[in-house]
A and B are shown apart, each in its own frame.
Chain A
Amino acid sequence: MAGSKGGSPSWLTPLIREAKGRSHPHMSYCDDVFFSDLWSRRLKGITKRQREAHGPSHYAALSWDVGSQKLLKRLLSFHLQRPAGWHGATGLTILVDQFRRETESKQTLEGQVQALRAEVQSLRAQVARIAPPASPRTEVDWPRALEATRAVLSDLAWNCTVERIGDTLTIRAAEDAVSSVVNGGFDFYSLLTERLGGTMAAAVELEFVYPPSRAR
């Protein structure tokens, strides 16, 4: 902790100067002695007690270097506004406790943010590794797809019709074909892949339409 031994830390000097520059009835308290005393005895004492009370892990969460300027600014502000008869030690305890909670909360949040950042970087690396190379969308040879689908339906002896509607091949199952169609999906895709190849078979949008009487 920079400057924690003997006198006030060097970064405290501008704060004291700033405080002295203000016009306030309690300004007489804002001098080097007060802050040196505050820093060297109050803060250190409270910190030590808290460290002893809560153990090393708790102390690890407290970083008096990080944010110590912020704390002193707040103490300074509070000191300037304190009512007459205000007991400094009690007020300091309250402030330090508040600061401790905020510091812990902030550090927890920062830890979470860092963990999330690391996770995002890891995920990005994974995506870069596993993402398929950019390729243009497979152009479907519709006449060929239609012919292949008809051939597959014929091979399977399914009583179905097929027609192209927009970018979809619509397969209409007759009443007596419904059971075969519903139970024969695996064979259908195997045969279609054999005829069209996997890339085009995957690209062809297929819609199976069943008789209204079988809809459920």
Chain B
Amino acid sequence: MFNPSHFADLAVTLPNLDDQDRECCNRSAYGRAYYALFLAVRAAIRRAQNKDVDEEIGHGYLASTLTSSPNDKIASVGVLLAKLYDARMNADYKLDPKNRWRIDLAKGLEAERLAKAARDQIQALSAVDFTSVLADF
């Protein structure tokens, strides 16, 4: 079975690749970082439910449900998911973003920061008890 943390590892690497299109790598890094965390969190929830790890959960619904949790660890996962989702949407769908992403997409440090946050969050997922939100999925 594929380990989504490999997406996060790749995402951390992409902004640092030399001799590559910088913005292309940065944009890709946001996407891989988001999906790394999304897939890892969804799998953690589905495993806790004894369900198929690939059973769908809506992107927006997953992030908003987690951020609404009174459990800080769960909410923090949701916050990072929401930030990554916003980044991914700009990276994947905006050729000429009019907001701050115009700069962030061109420079690699922010992509690297979020990618590392996703990677670290995935590593810390085992310490997150999703029991209180399982009924929501």
Contacts and interface: CB of A to CB of B under 8 A. Distances in A.
Interface string B53-76: 000111011011111110011111
A184 to B, nearest CB: 8
B120 interface: yes
A70 B110 CA distance: 64
A182 B116 contact: yes
A159 interface: no
Interface residues of A, number: 31
A202 B108 contact: no
Interface string A129-157: 01110000000000000000000000000
Contacts of B83: 189, 202, 206
A190 B121 CA distance: 10
Nearest to A216: B108
B10 interface: no
Contacts of A25: none
A189 B58 contact: no
A28 interface: no
19 contacts: A130-B57, A130-B58, A131-B58, A131-B60, A186-B80, A186-B116, A189-B76, A198-B67, A198-B68, A198-B78, A198-B79, A201-B67, A201-B75, A201-B76, A205-B100, A208-B109, A215-B107, A215-B109, A216-B22
A140 to B, nearest CB: 13
A182 B124 contact: no
B113 interface: yes
B72 A202 contact: no
Interface of A: 126-127, 130-132, 168, 178, 181-183, 185-186, 188-190, 192-194, 197-199, 201-202, 205-208, 210, 214-216
A126 B120 CA distance: 31
A131 B75 contact: no
B66 A198 contact: yes
Contacts of A206: 83
Nearest to A197: B75
A214 to B, nearest CB: 6
